[in-house]
């Protein structure tokens, strides 16, 4: 996907991603790639908001696509809308190189204690 983290904090996280390599068959930025970028910046921010000994897991993502991109870099910024003890919600804007809004979304993450973390997935024995 080529995502590059630019800034990371619990209130604001920014990352960029190239359009090239993330296009659908018509040559436009794939909506799923935009959604992945949005969830990435929101999840990083929520993980930082959760704090030590805690983790974040996305429970709701919505995204609206406003215009297409065919080349260049898109940049996503997640901004905290609400940070509580158990939930964190972020507004996410994705813009192109010219600063035009490509997509906007919202991500809500559940913040949990580390002892509730699901086990890591490893190789399945045959």
Is 39 a residue of the active site? yes
Q: Which of 39, 60, 113, 115 is catalytic?
A: 39
CATH code assigned to 4-114: 3.10.129.10
The predicted structure's pLDDT at residue 115: 77
What does the pLDDT look like over 80-122, one tens digit per residue? 999 999 999 999 999 999 999 999 999 999 999 987 666 666 6
SS3 letters across 14-51? EEEEECCCCECCCCCECHHHHHHHHHHHHHHHHHHHHC
- pTM summary value: 0.89
Domain limits, the chain:
4-114
The pLDDT mean for the chain works out to 94
């Amino acid at each position: 996907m080529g995502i590059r983290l630019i800034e990371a904090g619990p209130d604001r996280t920014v990352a960029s991603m190239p359009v090239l390599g993330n296009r659908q068959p018509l040559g436009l930025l794939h909506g799923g790639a935009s959604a992945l970028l949005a969830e990435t910046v929101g999840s990083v921010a929520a993980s930082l908001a959760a704090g030590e000994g805690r983790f974040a897991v996305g429970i709701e993502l919505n995204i609206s696509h406003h215009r297409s991109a065919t080349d260049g870099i898109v940049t996503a910024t997640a901004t905290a809308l609400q940070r509580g003890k158990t939930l964190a919600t972020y507004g996410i804007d994705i813009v192109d190189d010219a600063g035009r809004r490509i997509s906007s979304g919202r991500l809500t993450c559940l913040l949990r204690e580390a002892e509730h973390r699901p086990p890591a997935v490893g190789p399945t024995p045959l």
